[in-house]
Amino acid sequence: MISPLASTPLFHIGPAPVTEAVVATWAIMAVLVIGSAAITRRLSLTASKTQAVCELIVDTVDGQIRDTMQLEPGPYRAFIGTVFAFIFVANWSSLVPGVQPPTARLETDAALALLVFIAIIWFGIRAGGVRGYLATFATPSIVMVPLNIIEAVTRTFSLFVRLFGNVMSGVFVVGIVLSLAGLLVPIPLMALDLLIGAVQAYIFAILAMVFISSAIAAPKSSQRTAP
């Protein structure tokens, strides 16, 4: 099995190499974009089964945002929902013969964690302005600035390490058992791997909500306590 640390390019676009994980990511993005466009193009008051399922998913995401962030879900629904949907579909893409989940590759998980890192800064600045967001690093004391900066970096690092480790380990275990035991024996492990993939998508989205809400709550609390 190819090492997860090795990225063999399939082809190049100019000087940029395009790996299998990148192609799989593009395919998943296309499926999500085309699928969402097709579903939302014909919305009606009398919901079809597909529309009802999609509305249930959106309501579930909204409820989770309210419970976790204690905020109205409108500004965060698109980002959190998209991150969850992408990771969920990416983790389950192993059901397609010959496809390795792009989330089993370091570069994909690092990109997802970087998106969350940027989102934390974006929502934090939008909530309290640039000065308000930067002031959060001096909470509760200016002495904490280096530690708070390190925390912001390390929690982003922990996001992609957790996702990469769990997905990659599942791919390796199923591959090893499949090579040793044949086709039928690994089926329970594959089912467990799919369950873990769904749980990892949920955990990643929850942690993203927690980190974003902490960046939003800090500027608001500092504004309330300001003389």
φ/ψ region of 217 (left if φ > 0, alpha if ψ in -120 to 50, else beta) reads alpha
In whole angstroms, give the CA distance from residue 87 to residue 55: 20
If you average pLDDT over every residue of the chain, what do you get? Answer: 82
Q: What is the DSSP letter of 96?
A: S
Pick from 25-34, 35-44, 65-74: least confident: 35-44
Residue 184's pLDDT is: 56
Task: Mention every residue, 6+ apart, whose C-beta is less than 8 A from residue 76.
Answer: 65, 69, 123, 209, 212
List all residues 6 or more positions away from 191 whose beta carbon is below 8 Å from its beta carbon.
none
pLDDT, tens only, 108-142: 898 999 999 999 999 988 888 888 888 878 777 78
Bigger pLDDT: 125 vs 46: 125
Q: Which residue has the higher pLDDT, 60 or 167?
A: 60
The runs of H, that is alpha helices, within the chain are 20-40, 49-69, 74-92, 106-135, 145-181, 187-225
74 Cβ partners below 8 Å, 6+ apart?
none
Structural contact between residues 20 and 104, judged by C-beta atoms closer than 8 angstroms: no
Q: Are 192 and 169 in contact, with CB atoms under 8 Å apart?
A: no
The pLDDT-based confidence of 226 (bands split at 50, 70, 90) is very low
Q: Which amino acid is at 114?
A: L
Lowest mean per-residue pLDDT among 93-102, 202-211, 215-224: 215-224
Q: Enumerate the domain spans of the chain.
A: 9-225
Mean local confidence (pLDDT), 7-23:
81
The pLDDT of residue 227 is 42
Question: What does the pLDDT look like over 174-189, one tens digit per residue?
Answer: 666 666 665 555 567 6
pTM of the predicted protein model: 0.83
Residue 225, pLDDT score: 46
